[in-house]
Structures are given as C-alpha cells and as structure tokens.
Structure 1
Amino acid sequence: MLFDTPVRLGVQIQPQHVTYPQIRDAVRRLEDMGVDILFNWDHFFPLFGESDGLHFESWTMLAAWAEQTEKVEFGALVNCNSYRNPDLQADMARTIDHISAKGGEGRFIFGTGSGWFQRDYDEYGYEFGTAGSRLDDLADGLARVEARWAELNPAPTRRIPVMIGGKGEQKTLRLVARHADIWHSFVTAEELPHKLSVIEKWAETEGRDTSNLVISNELQRRGPEDADALYAGGTRLFTFGFGGPDFDYDAVQAWLDWRDAKNA
C-alpha cells in the first residue's frame, strides 16, 4: 500500500438543501483554501434532513466543476453503477477529464460503488435487486468502463484514477484489489490492518500489484486523535462531509492545518 505519499484532504460538498449558486461559491472557496479533492455524491434525493428538500444530480454538476476549477481534483464519492450504462459512464468520465485538463492532464477521479439508497431506484425506475446482485453488476461495469476507456477517441488525458468504496471482504475488497487506485471506507483504525490484509490476499489471487493503492477514510464525527490513528495505519486521503447552507469553513481550515502538519 502507498504509505509514503503526502496526506491529502478531500471535501464532499453535500448536494442537498442548498441552491446551486451556494455550491458554486463553496467550490471556489474550497479550491482557494487549498483543498486537494472536491467530491459530491450520486443520489437523487437528500440522504438526511427534509426528504424532499433541494437536491442536485451528480454528473452534470461534476462537468460544471471541471470547467470552473483550475487545480483541484474532483469526483463523486461515489458514483452509483446502477444508474447509468457502464460504457456511458466511461464516456462521461473521459469527457469530464478533458474538460478539466486546461492544457495539462485531467483532474477527474472515477469514484464508484454498487449503490444502496432504495428510494433512488424506486422513483427513477431502476431494479434494486440485492446487495449481491448490485456488486456483481459493479464487477461487470468496472470491466466495461476500463475496456471502453481503451477504445475512446480521444482517449482520456491520463489513466483516470478509480476509487472504490466499501469494506465487504468477499466481493468489494476483491474489486478493490482488481481495479482500484484508491480504496475508501469508514473502517476504524483497529479494523484497518485486517482489511488491508484481505486486499493483499485478493491482490495475490488477481495477480495485481497494489503497492500504490491509496487508503482513504472519513473524518465526519471524528477528531484529530482518530485521524492520527488512521494515519498511523496507512490512511493518506481523508474526506470531510460539508453540508450547507451554513458551510463551516473553519472546520475545513482546521483539517487543512492538520494535513499540513502531517506533511511538514
């Protein structure tokens, strides 16, 4: 695993209960503050608070961020594989990658998962299936995404990083070993060594080198001591949930200061 890389801070702007101008302003301010990665999430309704409150779609928003920003990386934490044909996902990702390049390499991260929020499925007409069937669909989808990237003209500007979220040992972590550049989870520092050993075992089965895998985890409802423990276990990307309309920029700055101290 890639433990000698600098610590990076990602901020997940929750696309709920705010107007789009408020989101646009948050993107600008967070990039100016020096956040490394900006995320949204891929849902169609709020995940908490007023269930029918304001909410915006993920991929169209990411295309706007690609044009608006100059240096920050960005993506969904995470895309839902169920909602769009995998070949279409690949083409959308490649296009957003090019939009964000601004004369250099693109900055898009392809974060993806199998989906879980049943209301999205029911109201938008997708088959919910089971947790197992959705993971099987994700396995098929990832293979198709990577195959389509190899065929597109023009090709992506870089090898688009793949982030996979989850911790299930039989299917999800095998997909991490097979495809991921970044593994994101909510596991505790105590759980981390075991989960990493599972990924390493699956990597041996898959015949893939995971020495460059970046370990990502969540800061929400955690403090510096928790983050220190996760860092000691190898976590190098830390993500912070950022909800409006009263965005707490001071909390982000505190985590940026913690990041900078770790990287000093």
Structure 2
Amino acid sequence: MPRPVRIGVQLQPQHAPEYQLLRDAVLRAEDLGVDIVFTWDHFYPLTGDPDGAHFECWTMLGAWAEQTERVEIGALVSGGGYRNPDLLADMARTVDHISRGRLILGIGGGWFERDYTEYGYDFGTAGSRLRLLGEYLARIRARIGKLNPAPTRHIPVLIGGGGERKTLRLVAEYADIWHSFADLDALRHKSRVLAGHAGDVGRDAEHIERSVPWPGVAEAQAFVDAGVTLFTVGTGGPGYDLSVVAEAVRWRDDRFPQALAGLA
C-alpha cells in the first residue's frame, strides 16, 4: 500500500519569550491539519539574537503529548550526545505513552558547537559524534526492548543527515524515516546509496520513509516522484507564522485527497 504524503511543521522554540506562544502555535498547527508537529533540540537560538529566548525540547514534547489529540510529535532532531541513551529511550517510551502512541524519535549526530561547550558536552569531531550516535542507537534499541511497560507501538526512529559512508549506514540499520536536506538531484543519488547500505544490513530501503524540508508548491511533486512522502515547514517565534504551512496542507489535500480521510 503506498505511503501517504504528509505535512509537518517544525516549531522552533526560539525567540518566544512566553511558552504560551508555542502552546498556541501547536494548537493552530493541529487545527490546520498538519500530520506532525516537530520541535528542535538546541539550547540556544540558531538565528537572530544568539542569547534570545529559548526553551528545551523534551520537556515541551511531554506537554505537547497532553495538549494535542491527533498529530504525531517529535524532535527534528535530538542531538545524539546530549543525553544518556538509556535515559533518552525511557523518555521516549514515556512520551509515547502520554501521547497514546504519537511520538517520533528524531535523532542525529549533533553539530551546533555552542550547545556542547555551554552545557559541558565534548564536541569532538564530526566523525566522533557519528561514532557515538551509532553506539547510542544500539543502546536505545536495546533499552526500549527492556522497558516495562513497553511502548504502545514501535516508536518510529527518524535520523537526520546525509553523510554517505556513516550517516546513511546508520539510517539503513536503525531508521524508519530519513530526513535529508539534499536538493533533488543529490536526494536521488543519496537514495541509491541508502539502498546499497540497506541491502548490506538485510533491509528493504523502500521501508524507510523519505523526509525533506518543504520546497514549495512548484517543486513538491518532483520530490514526491523521487520518493519523498514527508515535508516539513520550519517557523520560529515569537509570531509562529503558519501561512506557508497552510499552503503546504492545501497542496497535500488537493493532490492527495486520501489525506483528508485520515483526518476525519
């Protein structure tokens, strides 16, 4: 059965001086008909005033799990080195239960040096962070298998990144969703690389959903033709403008009306 085309929004928890602004944005996004509401996992703003207002990822996800009714929720993406992986697995399992099975566990190698240095983590190198991510993914999988009660469902794992030798190898082994920032031609190439890695670990790469940032109405169908079924629009505080999100939802509903049935 073909995978449905979905629309996500990433509500970046920066420059919102009051949490209520984020809470309102989550409600508006769910009312618009998005499929997934993401946040990100950083400790400081990535744009604008570097010392501006900011909120933490996983405590928010617990609140969103209670606040929302239909949308999936998750981080796009958690920094792999920011938390003990066994603890992160337990956090994910708990949010899965609070949300009644709507959590996506997004994770990546991490890249924003200030997060590491200000909070006392070893920044290392890109290679060392990816090695750590591989170790942590194995521990997360193992810990989830030991938790009591077990998750309400298989918690989908989303891995972000595009490195062909290391990141895509981890995607092939552990991910249910691969989030790429590649342009269309690079995405096609990296999908072929991913298929090779998947074959090496005994998986069918078609079982891994492709996810990209929203490219706009003019280009979205070309990405669908290349295998993408999840598009995410990013927006930050304090206003959390959802006009582009609404455009993406309208495009989804016009092109893929079966999505409307899933929202009924």
| Structure 1 residue 150 displacement after superposition | 0.4
| Post-superposition offset of 1:7 | 0.8
The CA deviation at 1:192 is 1.8
String of CA shifts for 1:177-208, please: whole Å, max 9, x gaps: 00110000111111122111101110111112
Contact 1:38 1:72 in 2 (8 A): yes
Percent of aligned positions that are identical: 59
Residue by residue, what CA displacement relative to the aligned partner does 1:48-99 show, whole Å, maximum 9, x if unpaired?
1000000000000001001111110010000011110000000000000000
Aligned to 1:33: 32
Greater mean deviation of Cα atoms: 48-57 or 202-211:
202-211
Q: CA deviation at 1:244?
A: 2.2
CA distance in 1, matches of 2:243, 2:135: 42
1:247, CA displacement in angstroms?
2.4
Find the partner of 1:254 among 241, 244, 247. 247
Query: Corresponding residue for 1:11?
Result: 9
- 1:195 is matched with 190
Partner of 1:49: 48
Aligned residues of 2:15 and 2:45 also touching (Cα < 8 A): yes
The amino acid that maps onto 1:77 is L
Aligned residues: 256
The answer to whether 1:162 aligns with 2:157 is: yes
For 2:143, give the aligned amino acid: R
SS, match of residue 38 in structure 2 = strand
Structure 1 counterpart SS, 2:185: coil
What is the alpha-carbon distance in structure 1 between the residues aligned to residue 200 and residue 244 of structure 2? 42
Mapped partners of 2:237, 2:55: distance in 1: 13
- Superposition RMSD in Å: 1.1
Aligned counterparts of 1:37 and 1:137: Cα–Cα separation in 2: 28
Give the Cα–Cα distance (whole angstroms) in 1 for the partners of residues 245 and 197 of structure 2: 35
**CA apart distance, 1:245:** 1.7
> TM-score when scaled to structure 2?
0.95
Q: Hey, what's the Cα distance between the residues in 2 that align with 1:261 and 1:186?
A: 25
The worse-fitting range, judged by mean Cα deviation, of 226-235 and 245-254 is 245-254
Superposed counterparts of 1:100-249, under 5 Å:
100-101=99-100, 106-219=101-214, 222-249=215-242
What residue is the counterpart of 1:74 in the other structure?
A: 73
Partners in 2 of 1:99 and 1:129 — Cα distance? Answer: 35
- Secondary structure of 1:208 counterpart: coil
Moved more, 71-80 or 227-236: 227-236
* Unpaired segments ≥5 residues, structure 2: 258-264
TM-score (norm 1): 0.95
